[in-house]
Amino acid sequence: MERADVLRLFVLITDEYPNFDDSDENVDRHLKALKDFSFETAVQNVERHIETNSFYPKISEIRGFAADQSARERELAETRAYLDQRAASRVKATLPPPGWKDELLAKLRHTK
């Protein structure tokens, strides 16, 4: 994340929390702590924080929990793979041959 990203993030935060410290010192402090962090993820975490909290987010809340984020990304990847597999199976699927159900039911009735 760059300084301009931190400033954009501060705009988002101060819109909801007017008492948030948007001083140059605080920008520098956040930049130091968030320089290796994705701006898009920070925005998502701040938006989620705004929905559920009445006090502005701390740096740790802006970063979110790395374990939660990696688990969420892994679950999303697994879900995508599963849905892709289902779509591929759906393309290959065919109807059973005509009369198959009646033949099966006849066999089941004779085994009783």
Using CA atoms, how far apart are residues 17 and 89, in angstroms rounded to an integer?
50
Fold of 1-64: Helicase, Ruva Protein; domain 3 (1.10.8)
So what's the pLDDT on residue 112?
55
Euclidean distance between CA atoms 76 and 44, whole angstroms: 16
- Render pLDDT for 69-112 as a digit per residue (tens, 0 to 9): 777 888 999 999 999 999 999 999 988 999 999 999 999 998 65
Rounded distance, CA 94 to CA 112, Å? Answer: 30
pLDDT in tens, 7-31: 999 999 999 999 999 999 999 999 9
User: Considering the entire predicted model, what is its pTM?
Assistant: 0.58
- Predicted pLDDT of residue 64: 83
Q: Quick one: which of 4, 18, 20, 25 has its CA closest to 57?
A: 20
